[in-house]
Amino acid sequence: MGTEWSIRFYTEADGSVPVQEFLTSADLTPGELKQLRLRLDYIRQMGLSALGQRADILETLEGKDATGLYSLRCPNTPNNPRILLCAVVERTFVLLHGFKEQNARDYAAAITVAQRRRQALEKARSAAQQAQATPQRKGKRR
């Protein structure tokens, strides 16, 4: 099966953790929370290969606004919870946004939020890489 993937929660600049807040405050049933934990464990073990094996658990979102996003699904449950996530290097999933899907508009709004967070993640990663690549100067120039 290979090396397991890691799962991280996206953290906003103010320190809030949106998906963690969703999981604790969205009035999800105990069964839904259990299913989400099991599904997160499944994608941790399977990585992106889960896409071809269990579309009922993990699906690629389509459309120009959804590029690079995946949806962890828990269908046929009272609240129909979804967690939008992205895959980053080092075999890591980042949980970007959680929501209850009631209609197509819910998905559209959630995709907008998740894309904004994914772009912020990429920008921070790029800035960190640039900082590592820039040599530190020692001493003063004369």
Q: Write phi, then psi, for 6 (nearest 5 degrees).
A: -105, 155
Q: Tens-digit pLDDT profile for the chain (142 aa)?
A: 568 999 999 999 999 999 999 999 879 999 999 999 999 999 999 999 999 888 899 999 988 788 899 999 998 999 999 999 999 988 999 999 999 998 888 999 999 999 999 999 999 888 877 787 776 656 555 4
| Residue 93 to residue 48: CA distance in whole angstroms | 9
| Residue 101 to residue 129: CA distance in whole angstroms | 36
- What is residue 103's DSSP assignment? S
Residue ranges per domain, the chain?
6-126
pTM of the model: 0.87
